[in-house]
């Protein structure tokens, strides 16, 4: 397997990031998207993150984005100390420690950015991810029952938070 490098996202990564986002979204198991947003919306999201210095890292292998992790601060002033974590990897790169490396580095960047709380949501059935988040200090803060409806099936959503 080719080496994996974890780096801050740049404009050059946008197309590949969009492709990875779309692939994971179409798995219909992990993200709040069932397909990636339109390319221009994804491009605007990434460029806004870069312009504001928000923590967004990508895992790159053989020149393509194979995963990412970001912590995007809330736009509302009373929540400005809070960021929301998003992370995903293409299937063939899961369970190799890459996700943990992405999370560790992104949380470090979020702390340096000045955030004091990071939160996330994860499907209750994604027990592997829940255990990984716990290793980084995230605590379960709540459960939203039947919050997700995909292909006729309901799923619960677990709310998790980390305080720096």
Distance of alpha carbon 162 from alpha carbon 140, whole angstroms = 9
Beta strands 4-8 and 56-61: pairing type?
A: antiparallel
The reported pLDDT for the residue numbered 1 is: 60
The reported pLDDT for the residue numbered 65 is: 98
- Please identify every stretch of the chain with a pLDDT value under 70, giving residue numbers as ranges: 1
Q: Report pTM.
A: 0.95
The reported pLDDT for the residue numbered 2 is: 76
Q: Which domains does the chain have, with CATH numbers?
A: 4-115 (3.40.630.30)
């Amino acid at each position: 397997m080719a080496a994996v490098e974890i780096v801050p996202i740049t404009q050059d990564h946008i197309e590949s990031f969009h492709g990875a986002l779309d692939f994971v979204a179409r798995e219909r198991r992990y993200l709040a998207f069932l397909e990636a947003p339109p390319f221009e919306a994804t491009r605007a999201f990434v460029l806004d993150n870069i312009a504001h210095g928000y923590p967004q890292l990508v895992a790159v292998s053989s020149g393509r984005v194979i995963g990412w992790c970001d912590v995007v601060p809330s736009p509302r002033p009373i929540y400005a100390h809070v960021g929301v974590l998003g992370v995903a990897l293409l299937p063939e790169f899961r369970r190799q420690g890459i996700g943990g490396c992405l999370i560790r580095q992104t949380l470090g960047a979020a702390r340096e950015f000045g955030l004091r709380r990071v939160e996330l949501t994860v499907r209750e059935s994604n027990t592997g991810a829940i255990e990984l988040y716990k290793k980084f200090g995230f605590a379960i803060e709540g459960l939203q029952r039947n919050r997700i409806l995909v292909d006729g099936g309901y799923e619960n959503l677990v709310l998790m938070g980390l305080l720096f």
